[in-house]
Amino acid sequence: MSKYLQDPEYLFSILTALVKKNGGKIIISKEDMSKVTTGDLVGMYYEPKTDNLILKEVEPEDMLTASSLINDKIDKAYDN
């Protein structure tokens, strides 16, 4: 797992950026929360060409491929 995803300050910064980007408020209903399962995966990627951080839902089978691509490349093109 990425060192960034283990850092509470970094995660809070991401949440703050998302809230600010959404006009200062994001509402997450009880129903929204109930739809999240332990099998849901979110990947975090860094795109060096645009200097963007990308958060996206990842299918479990794609996660195996992604992890093999980045195991030796932490802090380079992609971070997960």
Mean pLDDT of 2-8: 81
Is pTM beyond 0.75? Reply is: no
Q: At 7, list the tokens.
A: 């850092």
Mean pLDDT of 47-69: 79
- Percentage of residues of the chain with pLDDT beyond 90: 51
Provide the pLDDT for residue 79. Answer: 53
Provide the pLDDT for residue 78. Answer: 47
Please check the confidence at residue 53 and state whether its pLDDT lies above 70.
yes
Q: What is the DSSP string of 16-76?
A: HHHHHHTTT-----HHHHHT--TT-EEEEEEETTTTEEEEEEE-HHHHHHHHHHHTT-TTS
Q: Do 2 and 80 form a contact (C-beta atoms < 8 A)?
A: yes
Mean pLDDT of 4-19: 92
CA 75, 76, 80 angle in degrees (round to 5)? 60
